[in-house]
A and B are shown apart, each in its own frame.
Chain A
Amino acid sequence: QSVLTQPPSASETPGQRVTISCSGSSSNLGYNYVYWYQQVPGTAPRLLMYKNDQRPSGVPDRFSGSKSGTSASLAISGLRSEDEANYYCAAWDDSLGGWVFGGGTKLTVL
C-alpha cells in the first residue's frame, strides 16, 4: 500500500488531454513539493516535473503539473504514442522522514 494514492490506470486517444491524480496527506503533499516521474517499460524512471509545476529541460510543455492542498495532478496534452508509460508521483514525508511514492499510473494511448 503506497503512501501516495494514484489511479492504477488511465487511457486516452492521441491528441487528447489526460490528467493523472496523486493524493496524499498533510505530512507529504500538504506541506511539501510533488515530483513526477515517467517510466517507459524496461527503462529507468525519468524526472518529469519538480517543485509541483517545474519542467526540467527537455521535457515538452505538453506536460504540466499542479498541486492544491493534499492533492496533485499531472496533465498531458496533445497525447502521443510515446507518452505511453507508467507515471509516479513522489514527495518528502515529514512524519516518516523519507521520500514516498505513489503506486504508479499506467497510461495507455489508445
Chain B
Amino acid sequence: QITLKESGPALVKPTQTLTLTCTLSGVSLSTSGVGVGWLRQPPGKALEWLGTIYWNDDKRYSPSLKNRLTITKDTSKNQVVLTMINLDLVDTATYYCAHSKFWFGEPQFDPWGRGTLVIVSS
C-alpha cells in the first residue's frame, strides 16, 4: 500500500521561501517509473499541478511557476522536497503530493497525501 505524507510550515510570510517535504511509503523512489507530483488547491478553488519528479531525476514543472519552483529527491530517505521562492498571498493553498507514473496510460496521481495547508500572511 502506497502512502504519502506532506510536512512543512503552516504559515509563511510574503517574499519568503516555502519548503515542503513529501515522505513516500510502500514504494521506493528508486524504482523504475515511480514519480511524485506536487499539486495545490487554493481554498474553494480548483486543483493545480506544480511539478513532478521521477525515479531517474527527470523533472517537469508547471510553465507558469517554473521560475519559482525546485523539486528534489532524497532516495535514501524516500522523500521529495518542493521549494518555492518569493511567496505571495495568492500562494495560500493546500499543498498535496501524489504518487505518479512516468508512462502515460498508467494511473497518475494515485494516491494522494492528505495535504498541508500553507497560509501566506504577514
Main secondary structure of the interface of B (DSSP, over half): loop
Which of A19-27, A61-69, A74-82, A94-102 lies at the interface with chain B?
Answer: A94-102
Any A CB within 8 A of the CB of B49:
yes
- Chain B nearest CB from A36 CB (Å) reads 11
In the bound assembly, the distance between CA atoms of A100 and B60 in angstroms comes to 13
Q: Give me 26 A-to-B residue pairs in the complex whose CB atoms sit less than 8 angstroms apart, sorted by A's number.
A: A2-B46, A32-B104, A35-B109, A37-B47, A37-B109, A39-B47, A44-B96, A44-B114, A44-B115, A45-B47, A45-B96, A45-B112, A50-B107, A50-B108, A50-B110, A56-B110, A88-B46, A98-B60, A98-B61, A98-B62, A98-B63, A99-B49, A101-B46, A101-B47, A101-B48, A102-B46
Q: What would 11 more interface pairs be, CB under 8 Å, given A56-B107, A98-B63, A99-B49?
A: A35-B109, A37-B109, A43-B114, A44-B113, A44-B115, A45-B96, A50-B108, A90-B108, A98-B49, A98-B62, A102-B46
